[in-house]
Structure formats: C-alpha cells, structure tokens
C-alpha cells in the first residue's frame, strides 16, 4: 500500500479515537442533572432506600416489585427506615410518582442524561397525564 | 499449571487490586480516574502512530499475495477474482472480507491423528476459532461503541440505536445487553482453547494470555457493575464527561470497582501498541492480502535497485571485436 494511503488511514483512525474530545468541543454539552426533591417528596423525607442505594438500585427494586405484585400478589414493601410502602410505580398517593410528582424531573432528566430508555412507560402512565 | 498463564493472570489480579486499594484505601481517585486514563490514551495514540509509521516506512519489494484460488490466466479459465485478485477492486473486496468476516480464519484447519486403525495424520476443517473470534470481535466493538454514551451528552441517535438493538431481549432491569455476556463467553472460549488444547497451549506465551485475562477482567468488572453490585451511573458519567471536556470531576460515592475497571481499560489502551493487539492496524498492511497478483501482467521493479555499472553486449563486442573476428566468432558489427 502506498505511504499516502497509510497516512490517510492513520489520520482517520486518530480522529476517530479522539472523537469524544472534539465531538464535545463542536457540540453543546448538556450538564449533569442536579437531583432535587419537589412537592410532597421534599417534605416527606422518607424513601424506600437511602439516597445512594436508590440511585444505584432503583431499577432492580422496581423489577423485584413487579414480580412480587404480578406473580405473588404481595403489594407491601418495608423500606430500610421501617416505613411500609405500596409497591407501585404510578398508582395512588403512596407510590413512587404519588410522592415524586414530576416525572420529567424525577425520572427523565437522569435517564436522558445517561441514555437509558426504560420500558416502564410502555405500560404505565404518568398520573399527571391522565387528566 | 503453567507459568505462562499464571503470571499474566496474577498480573491482572494485582493490577485490579492496585486500583481498588489505591482508591478505597488511599483515596487516589485523581490518579486512577484522571491522570492514568489521560496517560493511557496518549500512550495508545503515540504508540499506535509510531508503530504504523514504522510499518509504512519498511520496504515491500516483492508482490507476495497469498493465492487462494485460480489466478488470472487464459480467457477460458475462470479466475477467482476475490481469492486471487489481479485488480485493486478485487483486492478491495478481499480486504473487506478479511477485515469484516475474517475470511482467512474461516479456512482454519486442524491436524490430528484419526481414530481408525490406520491412525493416519489427517487435516480437517475447524470452524470454531472463526466463530469464537467473530463473536469476540463484534461483541467488543459493540461494547466499545455503547460506551460512547458516557462521553457524549446528549447521546447521538446512532449510539442509542446500538443500545436499543443490543438490549432488544429486554431481560431483567437494568436490561441485559447481549454484547456483554457474548464478549465474556467468547473471551473465555478463546482462553480455554489456549489452556486445554495441547497444540495451541504449546505455542502460547504470556503475551497471548495477558490481553485475554485483561479483557476478561474488564468484562467481569463491567458486568458486575451493571448487573450485580450496581453503581451511581450519573456520577460515573460526570467523571467521564469531565475527562472528555478536560474539566476533570471526581464524583463522590463511586467505589473501587469502577476505578478497577477503568484502570484495566487504561492498561489495555497503554499496552495495545506494543502487543499482538496491533493486528488491528496491521491487518490493513498485510502484504499477503493487500496486493494484487499481477506479476505476470505488470513489471514490478525493486524500489531500492541502485545504478550498477553495466557492461552491455555492444560494449563487450566493441572491446573484443578484433579478437573475435580473428578467432572466427560471429559478430553483430563487422567494423
């Protein structure tokens, strides 16, 4: 192969490897979302898990809840702080979205940032949208 | 037990522990999360460029394509234009198939004594290395591209599409990405070949085992973080975005497992240019594949032929004409 072809290929490769750097230079970079507690959640001060466990484990917990509710009919969950919760994502006052009222802030901001598209909302609806 | 794989295995363990204890015990997040990744990328790029430039500078004086089919011949003999190409178009298709489908590995054979009474050495087609290599390379590519979600915000649609297709089975939460287990299983298969097959084990060195253990370690730590121990993904993305935008940021509550993973990846990057892994660049430059077999149609002159003082027949005859005529030898010019 001719030297020019090799150098051209090498240049393309180097650009590809450096793409995370120059891509963020030429596009506007979205800042990391700052989690904030709104509405009822701000005053309740009680959640099923503590803050960092919640961030890391919530999807696993929801999966366990789904199996528990759908397969076993067990709808009660006792959190680490001793409080009992209704195992539900979106139904009733005592559910996830019953307390964290703003889905866009509570769910979507981080999911969008991390490019996660969970299929929760294929079946569930945001209670705010029903009215 | 064989020290050719025990030493690399121990090395990978120790490297992981180094990062894990460095972060958990000594609080060296800045070293393992910022400094070493930057150094590793620099080492990777500089090493890669030096290596390829070295290869580009070396002479390829001969046309040495491996011919795997009928070469161009008389018009009524059918040529195999891909396996024995005589045009650049044929070479292009050949290289495309080599790079994307590992065509030469597909022809892999194994030698073994057959089990009949004759006990003769026989060669048979062995496809599993090709299958394992294909699974391994494509899974690794998908894993690598998927990780670009940590270096872009908002994440481009093409990367989201890859994630969607990779997670299409929708098993568990967080959803299973097929490429993860495929990468781990394929790497374990390639490792088991080297350990269990006596003929492959015999020619395997530490430099063959080390990248395998390293990649297995990376896959295990990655899978552990996603499916088992779980990590604060937003915190990790803040770190990686900090690296990509040159505003380093160390998140709280991101544990040693992540730094162990990142350190093993950094080691892989830094080690890449000085290892067998350079076949990534080398495959494009293999002269047995990227040359057209046209030695009969075209004259290829050795590029480093220098001017040799030559003595042509005319000069010879001028020199000895009288003596040749005297001896009765035939000459071109009588006078």
pLDDT digits (tens, 9 = 90+) for A44-53: 777 888 888 8
B128-146 and B206-223 helices, crossing angle to 10°: 50
pLDDT at A53: 83
Choosing among A32, A61, A64, A67, which should be mutated to test the B contact, i.e. which has the most B CBs within 10 A?
A32
Domain identity same for A48 and A99? yes
Domain identity same for B219 and B318? no
Mean pLDDT of the B56-81 span: 91
Q: Measure the CA dihedral B291/B295/B299/B300, to 10°.
A: 40
Q: Is A88 helix (H, G, I), strand (E, B) or coil?
A: coil
Domain identity same for A11 and A60? no
Would you state the structure tokens that stand for residue B206, as one six-digit string?
């530490």
Domain identity same for A46 and A96? yes
pLDDT tier, B292 (very low <50, low <70, confident <90, very high otherwise): very high
Domain identity same for A22 and A45? no
Would you state the structure tokens that stand for residue B87, as one six-digit string?
């045009």
Q: Which of B53, B55, B173 lies closest to A62 in CB terms?
A: B173
A11 touches chain B (CB under 8 A): no
B45 contacts on A by Cβ (under 8 Å)? 14, 17-18
Q: Is B220 helix (H, G, I), strand (E, B) or coil?
A: helix
B284 touches chain A (CB under 8 A): yes
Range of the domain at B181: 3-304
Which contacts qualify for A108-113: CB closer than 8 Å, 24 or more apart? A109/A33, A110/A33, A110/A35, A110/B234, A112/B154, A113/A30, A113/A32, A113/A33, A113/B153, A113/B234, A113/B237
A59 touches chain B (CB under 8 A): yes
Q: Measure the CA dihedral B301/B305/B306/B307, to 10°.
A: -50
Domain identity same for B299 and B311? no
**Strands B109-113 vs A76-78: parallel, antiparallel or unpaired:** unpaired
Q: Residue B263 and residue B20: Cα distance in Å, rounded?
A: 9
In angstroms, the separation between the Cα of residue A82 and the nearest Cα of chain B is 23
Domain identity same for B37 and B161? yes
Domain identity same for B315 and B299? no
Domain identity same for B30 and B176? yes
Count of domains observed in chain B: 2
Domain identity same for A19 and A51? no
pLDDT tens-digit series, residues B212-238: 999 999 999 999 999 998 898 999 999
Characterise A67 by phi-psi region: left (phi > 0), alpha (psi -120 to 50), beta (else). Answer: alpha
- Across A61-90, b (16+ Cβ under 10 Å) vs e yields bbeebeeebeeeeeeebeeeeeeebbbbbb
Domain identity same for B258 and B201? yes
Domain identity same for B154 and B272? yes
Domain identity same for B138 and B205? yes
Q: Do B174 and A60 touch (CB under 8 A)?
A: yes
pLDDT tens-digit series, residues B180-217: 999 999 999 999 999 998 889 999 999 999 999 999 99
pLDDT at A130: 66
Q: How many secondary structure helices (H) and strands (E) does chain A include?
A: 8, 2
pLDDT tens-digit series, residues B141-192: 999 999 999 999 889 999 999 999 999 998 888 889 999 999 999 999 999 9
* pLDDT exceeds 80 at position B116: no
* pLDDT exceeds 70 at position B286: yes
Domain identity same for A61 and A99? yes
Range of the domain at A1: 1-30
B151 contacts on A by Cβ (under 8 Å)? 20, 23-24
Q: Residue A30 and residue B66: Cα distance in Å, rounded?
A: 51
Choosing among A18, A52, A56, A108, which should be mutated to test the B contact, i.e. which has the most B CBs within 10 A?
A56
Q: Which residues contact B301 (CB under 8 A, 6 or more apart)?
A: none
Domain identity same for B76 and B209? yes
Domain identity same for A8 and A44? no
Mean pLDDT of the B128-151 span: 96
Domain identity same for A43 and A95? yes
Q: Residue B255 and residue B225: Cα distance in Å, rounded?
A: 10
Residue that wins the pLDDT comparison between B67 and B117: B67
Domain identity same for B126 and B139? yes
B84, B67 contact by CB (below 8 A) = yes
Q: Kindly identify which residue of chain A lies nearest to residue B63, measuring between CA atoms.
A: A1
pLDDT at B1: 52
A34 touches chain B (CB under 8 A): no
Average pLDDT value for chain B: 92
B170 touches chain A (CB under 8 A): yes
Q: Which residues contact A29 (CB under 8 A, 6 or more apart)?
A: B153, B241, B245
Domain identity same for A70 and A10? no
Lowest mean pLDDT among A64-68, A69-73, A118-122, B65-69: A118-122
pLDDT at B30: 94
Q: Residue B66 and residue A74: Cα distance in Å, rounded?
A: 67
Q: Do A59 and B174 touch (CB under 8 A)?
A: yes
Domain identity same for A81 and A121? yes
pLDDT at B142: 97
Count of domains observed in chain A: 2
Domain identity same for B325 and B283? no
Domain identity same for B287 and B159? yes
Domain identity same for A115 and A98? yes
B244 touches chain A (CB under 8 A): yes
Mean pLDDT of the B65-77 span: 93
Residue that wins the pLDDT comparison between B197 and B262: B262
**Cα–Cα–Cα angle for B108, B112, B115, nearest 5°?**
135
Q: Kindly identify which residue of chain A lies nearest to residue B243, measuring between CA atoms.
A: A21
Q: Domain with B293 in it: what CATH number?
A: 1.20.950.20
Q: Which of A20, A32, A117 lies closest to B237 in CB terms?
A: A32
Mean pLDDT of the A7-20 span: 95
A112 touches chain B (CB under 8 A): yes
B169, B177 contact by CB (below 8 A) = no
Q: Is B229 helix (H, G, I), strand (E, B) or coil?
A: coil
* pLDDT exceeds 90 at position B16: yes
pLDDT tier, B83 (very low <50, low <70, confident <90, very high otherwise): very high
In angstroms, the separation between the Cα of residue B32 and the nearest Cα of chain A is 19
* pLDDT exceeds 80 at position A1: no
Mean pLDDT of the A3-19 span: 94
Domain identity same for A78 and A21? no
């Amino acid at each position: 192969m001719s030297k020019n072809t090799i150098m051209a290929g090498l240049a393309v490769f180097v650009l590809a490897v450096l793409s995370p750097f120059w891509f963020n230079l030429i596009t506007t970079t979205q800042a990391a979302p700052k989690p904030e507690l709104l509405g009822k959640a701000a005053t309740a001060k009680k959640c099923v898990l503590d803050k960092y466990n919640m961030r890391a484990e919530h999807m696993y917990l929801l999966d366990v809840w789904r199996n528990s509710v759908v397969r076993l009919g067990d709808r009660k969950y006792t959190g680490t702080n001793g409080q009992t919760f209704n195992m539900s994502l979106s139904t009733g006052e005592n559910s996830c979205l019953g307390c964290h009222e703003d889905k866009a802030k509570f769910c979507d901001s981080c999911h969008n940032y991390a490019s996660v598209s969970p299929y929760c909302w294929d079946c569930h609806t945001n209670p705010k949208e029903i009215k | 037990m064989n020290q050719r794989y025990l030493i690399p295995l121990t090395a990978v363990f120790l490297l992981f522990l180094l990062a894990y204890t460095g972060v958990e015990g000594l609080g060296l997040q800045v070293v393992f999360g910022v400094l070493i990744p930057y150094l590793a990328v620099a080492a990777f790029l500089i090493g890669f460029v030096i290596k390829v430039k070295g290869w580009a500078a070396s002479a390829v004086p001969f046309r040495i394509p491996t011919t795997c089919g009928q070469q161009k011949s008389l018009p009524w003999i059918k040529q195999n234009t891909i396996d024995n190409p005589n045009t650049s178009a044929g070479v292009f298709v050949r290289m495309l198939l080599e790079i994307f489908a590992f065509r030469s590995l597909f022809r892999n054979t194994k030698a073994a004594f057959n089990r009949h009474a004759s006990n003769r050495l026989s060669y048979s087609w062995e496809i599993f290395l090709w299958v394992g290599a294909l699974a391994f390379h494509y899974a690794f590519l998908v894993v690598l591209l998927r990780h670009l979600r940590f270096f872009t915000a908002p994440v481009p649609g093409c990367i989201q599409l890859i994630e969607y297709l990779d997670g299409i089975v929708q098993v568990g939460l967080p959803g299973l990405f097929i490429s993860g287990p495929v990468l781990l299983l394929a790497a374990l298969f390639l490792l088991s070949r080297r350990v269990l097959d006596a003929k492959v084990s015999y020619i395997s060195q530490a430099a063959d085992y080390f990248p395998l253990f390293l990649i297995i370690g990376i896959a295990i730590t990655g899978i552990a973080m996603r499916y088992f121990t779980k990590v604060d993904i937003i915190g990790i993305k803040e770190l990686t975005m900090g690296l990509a935008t040159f505003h380093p940021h160390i998140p709280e509550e991101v544990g040693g497992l992540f730094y162990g993973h990142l350190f093993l990846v950094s080691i892989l990057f830094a080690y890449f240019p000085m290892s067998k892994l350079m076949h990534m660049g080398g495959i494009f430059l293999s002269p047995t594949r990227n040359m057209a077999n046209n030695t009969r149609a075209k004259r290829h002159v050795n590029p480093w032929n220098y001017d040799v003082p030559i003595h042509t027949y005319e000069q010879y005859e001028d020199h000895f004409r009288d003596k040749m005529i005297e001896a009765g030898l035939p000459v071109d010019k009588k006078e």
